[in-house]
Structure 1
Amino acid sequence: MTTPQLQLSTQLQDTLSDRSRYDAMTKRLLWKLDLHVLPLLIVLWVACFTDRSNISNAKIAGLDRDIHLTGDQFNVSLIVFYVPFILIEIPSNLLLKKLQANRMLPLIMLLWGLVTCFTGFVQSYSGLLTTRFFLGLCEGGLFPGVVLYLMTLYKPQELQKRIAVYFASASLSGAFGGLLASFILKMDGVGGLAGWRWLFILEGLVTALLAVITWVFLPADGATAWFLTSEEREFAGTLRVKDDAQFIRLSESQPGSECARKDKDSDKASQTEVVQLSVQEIEHFEWREVIRGLTDVQTIYYSRSQGLGYSGSEAQLRTSPPFAPAAALTIFIAFLSDRMRIRGPFFLLSLTIAIAGYTIAIVAKDNSQRYAALFLIASGSWSSVPTALAMIPNNVLGHYKRAAASALVLSVSYFGAFIATFIYTPDQAPGYVRGHTIAVSFLAAGWLVMTGNMLYCVMENKARASGRRQANITKYEALWNAGKTRASIGDRHPDFRFTL
């Protein structure tokens, strides 16, 4: 069982042997990635939310009247968006590596921009359903694709704060979308078109233009990034964020492992140990890895805890003042989590805050108390999302396994938004006690599931430390020798430790 050896330039080998030079290059690289990549991804995300939610502004401006919607037809058009949106996430993530993120993400942005434009020309209920269906189909691959893309650029302990900044930027869509809509709707009657039609047409065209800009400037990966020097590209492409499954996480081993002891006894950075490893340069697609990603115990824990913890009032919270402290808390928790290299306890903290908010909302006697509860609900619900997503690269290794796992977690979480449309009904106003009670029950279940996951990680780490998982190597070698896999051993390796 042989794999290619890493070949590094002399200049990079010198950098790896000098801790101060290594740290300086890491900081410089992170700064450049944050400056050139995150803003483009935030543009994608804000455009996504703006185009998704502008239908509410269009309704106010007369969409339902002009195309003769009756009964619950408008609500059905909102629900139909989530059907393809949820189903496309896993297959979209599996295609990301082959098509490359810097091509696939702008492409789906271009497509949903065109669909948004076409929405401005619908004449009937069936036309609206069709455009909403294809809008969900195009937008569904964005969030999981971006998360998977970030996993190829940043190390696991650097990831949550980037996901948090990206995720929290959705708050901009509420202010930006509302302001933009107020100007565009004044075009009512121009060219013989209603204002709401111009809303879809112009916002769709802006999205299409932004997709072209993103296509030009978004790098495929660190190894080919146009804004990095040749040494930085080699550093990013061959060592920093190469799939942890290929390196058995030597540079991030937990205390007590053999590699961690080597690091403590050496004056050189642990990255010099990585250079000596055999690596598998290209991970080929295998359905076995996809199935492992979907059925892995970690994925099951994350999807259940995240799905059950999704806020039932999410859509309303995005455009309300309570989201401001929610965004701040999301980013603050992400920085702490990355610095301390723990995820689960912060996830439990977030859910606890959300549970407290829902509890206050249930017993509230007036709207002032209910409004105060929204601040806690928003803060707890939103801050939990990046934490759950950041746990995947820590505990699930291998590109396609990660692709399937991260997409499944997001699919389940969006399914929570789907069912929220059924548990929050107008007849419950103004207290929505039944909806809040169901939501807080889901959050409590999510809290218990994550606690179970943390206990599993503790027990599994102890089993590996005591040598009770050495048989994993034998099983992996049997699969390799039988030609059933060419994927890295990854998180099956006895030296691998799960992050709590």
Structure 2
Amino acid sequence: MSVLRSQGELEANSSGINEKDLTRRILWKLDIRILPALALLWLANFLDRTNVGNAGIAGLRTDLHLQGNQFNTALAVFYVTYILSELPSNWVLKRVHPNRWLPGIVFAWGVIVTLSGLMQNFGGLIAVRLFLGLCEGGLLPGMVLYLSSIYRRQELQLRIGIFYASASLSGAFGGLLAFAITKMDGISGVAGWRWIFILEGLGTVLAATLTAFMLPRGIATATFLTEEERQFALHRLRLSDIATSQTAASKKAVSPTDSRESKEKDIHLETVVDVPPPDEAFEWLEVKRGLLDIQAWLTGFAYACFIVSLYSFSLFLPTIIAGLGFSGGQAQLHTVPPYVPAVVLTGYILAIAAKTNNARYAAVFLIAAGIYPCGPCILALISNNSSGHYKRATTGALQLMLGNCGGFIATFAYTSDQAPQYIRGHAITLTFVSLSWILVACNVLYCMWENKARRDGRRTANWRKYEQLWESGQTRAPIGDRSPDFMFTL
């Protein structure tokens, strides 16, 4: 065991910086190094996932001889491999290391998007979308899991929100890029919609290469932090939820029944016992705990309802705009403005009730502003309320597996026969958005009920159950969120 320096010792260090200043300095360094890199990857993700919508109105449907709902079907098959890849990706993240795995899968799909410019028929489109989903599925759960190993729980949602904002920027950039790129129609005998895939794919390859040099493996190897900053940041993470990192073997070193308030103040005590978290190995029992977590299912289905709105909006906005009477470059340009308010902030009711194209166009601004801020809130819930690496890896991936099932609904919510009103599509998404509110409310109520039980001492038996698992050799993982002292965030 090691002893963390007292607050007085930290304040008396050679730089004369106290704990609060040191924390601010560490967070600033982490933010400017990690968040722009993740935002760049997420921007590339949404550009490459949704550029098929821009290509669709630039000639893809005609050149590939798509009939009926074949375009919608191609969008739907993407989610098959996307969903199936999320859990395995999170399980291997720790072994391969996130600073290599995340840019690696982005690089792979960048190559696939570039090759999408060679598609000749419906079969080629299906194959490309399947391989694209296989590579893209691991990115979002991996980024959230990665951030949860670097930031404390109360700091996580803001960071997710910062990189998630780039999703709305991707919609704006996508429209602008598509407008500019389609001007290359005919150059070297290549259609404009093919240039969209080729150039944006190459941009993704470049972004992946750049971020591979920007992201640290973790705090312990972050070379942009000084040795003192690294040690303080590691202790700070461990002490934020010290009971959850304990095992039965270390229980005697730090009492799990210490009050939550005292643990929050541990860093200000004269001496603090630091129990390093074990190098947690993969365990199927932790996977089972994640799969049976009620919060993963509540927030997962809530995210699915949210995804119906998000994906249908991002995939079909170009089609909806074209249905309002715009065409060609004007249609591409008119997809840009609705995304702008979403960067910093539902209009489905207005879209349904609208009688003119101007009113329908105004509605998409409100839809974007209502959709995009929801994602970080839902994503942070399960990551903050799961403890233990593989438990968190499983719940985070499960949440997104359930959530991305909403993509299947989204791809068929808006069909060409509804133009230009798209009343059925708007009604479907409005229904799912409302259901998402109800599911999130249920999750909040569950957390409040469970926190009260823990404060009242009705979860002390969790330690005895955990010790039995330890003594029988069924687990070597830390107690994690089973600890009676672990409080869920709302």
Tell me which amino acid in the other structure corresponds to 1:325. Answer: P
What is the correspondence of 1:435-450 to structure 2 with a 5 Å cutoff?
435-450=425-440
User: Is 1:133 aligned with 2:130?
Assistant: yes
User: Is 1:301 aligned with 2:298?
Assistant: yes
Conserved in 2, the CA contact under 8 Å of 1:247 and 1:279? no
Q: In structure 1, what is the Cα distance between the partners aligned to 2:179 and 2:358?
A: 28
Tell me which amino acid in the other structure corresponds to 2:367. Answer: I
User: Is 1:240 aligned with 2:236?
Assistant: yes
User: Is 1:400 aligned with 2:424?
Assistant: no
Change in 2 beyond 3 A, CA 1:223/1:11? farther
Q: Deviations over 1:92-137 (max 9, x none)?
A: 1111111111000111111011111211222332222111211111
User: Is 1:469 aligned with 2:459?
Assistant: yes
Change in 2 beyond 3 A, CA 1:480/1:446? same
Conserved in 1, the CA contact under 8 Å of 2:235 and 2:274? no
Conserved in 2, the CA contact under 8 Å of 1:311 and 1:378? no
Conserved in 1, the CA contact under 8 Å of 2:11 and 2:17? no
Change in 2 beyond 3 A, CA 1:16/1:481? farther
Q: In structure 2, what is the Cα distance between the partners aligned to 1:276 and 1:16?
A: 19
What is the correspondence of 1:282-321 to structure 2 with a 5 Å cutoff?
282-312=279-309, 313-315=312-314, 316=316, 319-321=335-337
Change in 2 beyond 3 A, CA 1:47/1:423? closer
Q: Deviations over 1:295-340 (max 9, x none)?
A: 11221221122222335343146945333222212xxxxxxxxxxx
Task: Give the Å deviation of 1:289.
Answer: 0.9
Could you say which residue in structure 2 is the equivalent of 1:146? Answer: 143
Could you say which residue in structure 2 is the equivalent of 1:269? Answer: 267
Task: Give the Å deviation of 1:55.
Answer: 2.5
Conserved in 2, the CA contact under 8 Å of 1:84 and 1:133? yes
Tell me which amino acid in the other structure corresponds to 1:155. Answer: R
Aligned partner of residue 344 in structure 2, secondary structure: helix
Q: In structure 1, what is the Cα distance between the partners aligned to 2:461 and 2:12?
A: 34
Instruction: Identify which of 332, 335, 338 aligns with 1:322.
Output: 338
Conserved in 2, the CA contact under 8 Å of 1:243 and 1:399? no
Q: In structure 1, what is the Cα distance between the partners aligned to 2:144 and 2:20?
A: 25
Q: In structure 2, what is the Cα distance between the partners aligned to 1:378 and 1:190?
A: 34
The count of corresponding residues between Structure 1 and Structure 2 is 459
User: Is 1:455 aligned with 2:459?
Assistant: no
Could you say which residue in structure 2 is the equivalent of 1:14? Answer: 9
User: Is 1:49 aligned with 2:65?
Assistant: no
Q: In structure 2, what is the Cα distance between the partners aligned to 1:448 and 1:295?
A: 21
Q: Deviations over 1:401-439 (max 9, x none)?
A: 111111222222222232022233333334433333333
Larger displacement relative to structure 2 (425-434 or 87-96): 425-434
Task: Give the Å deviation of 1:249.
Answer: 8.6
RMSD: 2.9
Conserved in 1, the CA contact under 8 Å of 2:7 and 2:268? no
Conserved in 2, the CA contact under 8 Å of 1:106 and 1:211? yes
Task: Give the Å deviation of 1:368.
Answer: 4.2
Q: Deviations over 1:241-278 (max 9, x none)?
A: 3496654399xxxxxx95344369x7x735777x4143
Could you say which residue in structure 1 is the equivalent of 2:259? Answer: 259
Change in 2 beyond 3 A, CA 1:240/1:320? same
Conserved in 2, the CA contact under 8 Å of 1:17 and 1:272? no
Conserved in 1, the CA contact under 8 Å of 2:354 and 2:360? yes
Could you say which residue in structure 1 is the equivalent of 2:161? Answer: 164
Change in 2 beyond 3 A, CA 1:497/1:467? same
TM-score (norm 1): 0.83
Tell me which amino acid in the other structure corresponds to 2:452. Answer: K
Tell me which amino acid in the other structure corresponds to 1:173. Answer: S
What residue ranges of structure 1 are gaps of 5+ in the alignment? 251-256, 330-353
Aligned partner of residue 310 in structure 1, secondary structure: helix
Aligned partner of residue 81 in structure 1, secondary structure: helix
Q: In structure 2, what is the Cα distance between the partners aligned to 1:171 and 1:383?
A: 10
Aligned-pair identity in percent equals 50
Conserved in 2, the CA contact under 8 Å of 1:152 and 1:243? no
Change in 2 beyond 3 A, CA 1:17/1:437? farther
What residue ranges of structure 2 are gaps of 5+ in the alignment? 247-256, 319-334
TM-score (norm 2): 0.85
Could you say which residue in structure 2 is the equivalent of 1:253? Answer: none
Q: In structure 1, what is the Cα distance between the partners aligned to 2:52 and 2:10?
A: 53
Task: Give the Å deviation of 1:284.
Answer: 1.0
Change in 2 beyond 3 A, CA 1:177/1:404? same
Task: Give the Å deviation of 1:213.
Answer: 1.7
Q: Deviations over 1:278-304 (max 9, x none)?
A: 333311111111121121122122112
Conserved in 2, the CA contact under 8 Å of 1:16 and 1:269? no
Tell me which amino acid in the other structure corresponds to 2:262. Answer: K
Q: In structure 1, what is the Cα distance between the partners aligned to 2:171 and 2:64?
A: 25
